[in-house]
Structure 1
């Protein structure tokens, strides 16, 4: 029979029409699905692959779907790290005319790691630290944009490798709200929700024997808030600077850039009595190094990856004695970065995304050089990395296995 549905889509993909919309999501046949690990969800969620692209399909209420779709589209317009909304499918019904819940479709974030995949085996404390740093940075960035999450948790976050750290992405926005700015009370409410949710998730992991003995669930939950508060203070506090120490203003901006945040302007006022200055920078967004790398090379990388790639570019520029930054960037891209990526055989290219691959190669080169007491060179380091490291890594482009944590 003819199935009639209503599809609201940001990215028109005719293949969406071929999915079994007249069936409840939990009954979809396996030949339409992709096996991907996922966090705990109050909704039925399935992953499908259409024309080489993996999508997440979530069954929910129509108003909730429309609200989340609009929020995700708004976050995409301001380049916020969140999954991409693709479509809403409504007016679904079974062949017998029984109404079915609408679904929200989002694009699956390639090379992303749900936290439960990271906890497939007992997680080391240092890996937990990196996850907490990424989540705290995500919440800070969220609050700077005026976004109130309302359901911050590990389950609602995806993590991507970022040069030895992780970058966090928002997955579920159905309880969120985008405002011009947030009050201290609204930020505090979001943090309290995060603390309670993460404490519960950590207790659940502990009960399953997946937390290291050195990790205390209560401390984990409190540390997210503490890390957030430290980062928020560094970004927003008002600083008094003496007139003779005006160079400290530039130092403050550099520290913020090192944390990955752009400064749009600096508000300064005179302090009565001592002739000093009161300085408050206006931080607009994270992604300082990401944007610089994109501007110079066209490469789109995570913040820490971009920092490492820019360091390698700056070293190349100094060694090549090139005064022009754009010329140096072009030559580095074609003579250094691209040859490393091209050296990876086709069957290994799903292991790591190109930017993370390059970062790990230059780290591998440094380790080999330390052992040899000399610079071993890039080409030998690439071949050693491919043969001794990459070949043993699991594929991370889409499907992540439980053996993932062996390499964390």
Structure 2
């Protein structure tokens, strides 16, 4: 069987990688070193034309299946890595058949949980990770996706303002259905609880957990957070009359949990004067969509919320309340956001994505102003943030080797 690459690779250099060599034996000059989670399969990262790809060695059947599932999740706008291609027909120089390979695009600025939790893990950091994972699992279940192996290891995390956003990175055991069954949903939660408990025990054995963290208690948080979200999204609420204040409270609770209500279903209960209220269509990313529409900036949900708050404050402080929203957003971009990002030295901008940089500068400005007893301004905040905070942060971008080097060039 000849070598085949199936999918939408985009970069022709992918086919030039040494597919006739087992992945674990690939020469270093084809690879970049990035933090990796625990995997049952060999996984390597290759950089081509400024992009980083994750390559997993796996049987052809499972490679094709996972590729299709990831595309289906992308179509449903579920948080997951982007599939690129499947490579089949791999044969070594001595004629030995090699496993196929699944290629996905590496999610920039993302980290496996072990990289996030390196050092002495504080309870609040772990809680935010588990919150992000619970939100991810709820979103997948709402889309009809049964994961089958939910864990911290099968997830990537990106910083999202003061929280984290979680992305599915391994769909090997998943199944997509028109609607997830109660049995599948329950099994996913049980598996998540057991896996996370084991992962926390492993961290504890490596002395990476704070003494106050009980692995069993914290593993239970994923169940509690998930059930709270699921109940809020799917339970009926009975009200005595059309009290839209109660309906609005329900919507606000959903928004606070990271969901936007696209539609509410209100029906009268037979034989009574009471109404039953249930969110009918829900989706995540309300602030993301508004920020993208107004500014073209693509950010995580909490980052988008923070940037929009600053945009709204800019509107008020400049007497632009009655101005068109799009015009105000254009001015805010030119007068506030872009000058802050441009004020970061070029060699340090790759440490964090622009939206996260801006969020952290705003936080730094607030702390400086509290100390000074007056607003110190953005210029001073940017300078202080660069000198006292940013230079000490690790580089979270995926690009680690020299940006001008092509690892496939002769």
Q: TM-score under structure 1 normalisation?
A: 0.94
Indicate the residue corresponding to 2:157 in structure 1.
159
Distance in 2 (CA, whole Å) between partners of 1:238 and 1:21 is 54
| SS at structure 1 position matched to 2:276 | strand
Check if 1:367 corresponds to 2:367.
yes
Runs of 4+ more than 4 Å apart: none
Q: How far off is 1:171 after superposition?
A: 0.3
1:234 to 212, 232, 235: 232
Distance in 2 (CA, whole Å) between partners of 1:133 and 1:6 is 41
Indicate the residue corresponding to 1:405 in structure 2.
none
Indicate the residue corresponding to 1:130 in structure 2.
128
CA-to-partner distance for each residue in 1:58-100, whole Å, 9 max, x for gaps?
A: 0001010000000111111222111111111110001111100
| SS at structure 2 position matched to 1:69 | helix
List gaps (5 residues or longer) in structure 2. 401-410
Check if 1:81 corresponds to 2:84.
no
Structure 1 window deviating more from structure 2 (150-159 vs 273-282): it is 273-282
Contact kept? 1:261, 1:283, Cα under 8 Å: no
Structure-to-structure mapping, 1:67-216, within 5 angstroms: 67-216=65-214
Contact kept? 1:60, 1:103, Cα under 8 Å: yes
Distance in 1 (CA, whole Å) between partners of 2:57 and 2:97 is 13
CA-to-partner distance for each residue in 1:362-400, whole Å, 9 max, x for gaps?
A: 111111110011111111111111121111111110269
Q: How far off is 1:273 after superposition?
A: 6.1
CA-to-partner distance for each residue in 1:5-24, whole Å, 9 max, x for gaps?
A: 10012232111122111111
CA-to-partner distance for each residue in 1:329-370, whole Å, 9 max, x for gaps?
A: 111111111111111111111111000000001111111110
Structure-to-structure mapping, 1:247-396, within 5 angstroms: 247-271=245-269, 275-322=273-320, 323=322, 324-396=324-396
Distance in 1 (CA, whole Å) between partners of 2:21 and 2:67 is 22
| SS at structure 2 position matched to 1:92 | coil
List gaps (5 residues or longer) in structure 1. 401-408
Indicate the residue corresponding to 1:57 in structure 2.
55
Distance in 2 (CA, whole Å) between partners of 1:133 and 1:58 is 28
Q: How far off is 1:169 after superposition?
A: 0.5
CA-to-partner distance for each residue in 1:315-341, whole Å, 9 max, x for gaps?
A: 111122222212111111111111111
Distance in 2 (CA, whole Å) between partners of 1:338 and 1:180 is 43
| SS at structure 1 position matched to 2:36 | coil
Q: How far off is 1:248 after superposition?
A: 1.8
Contact kept? 1:236, 1:283, Cα under 8 Å: no
Indicate the residue corresponding to 1:404 in structure 2.
none
| SS at structure 2 position matched to 1:168 | strand
Distance in 2 (CA, whole Å) between partners of 1:123 and 1:278 is 44
Distance in 1 (CA, whole Å) between partners of 2:175 and 2:373 is 55
Q: How many residues align?
A: 398
Q: How far off is 1:244 after superposition?
A: 5.9
Distance in 1 (CA, whole Å) between partners of 2:222 and 2:253 is 21
Distance in 2 (CA, whole Å) between partners of 1:384 and 1:263 is 40
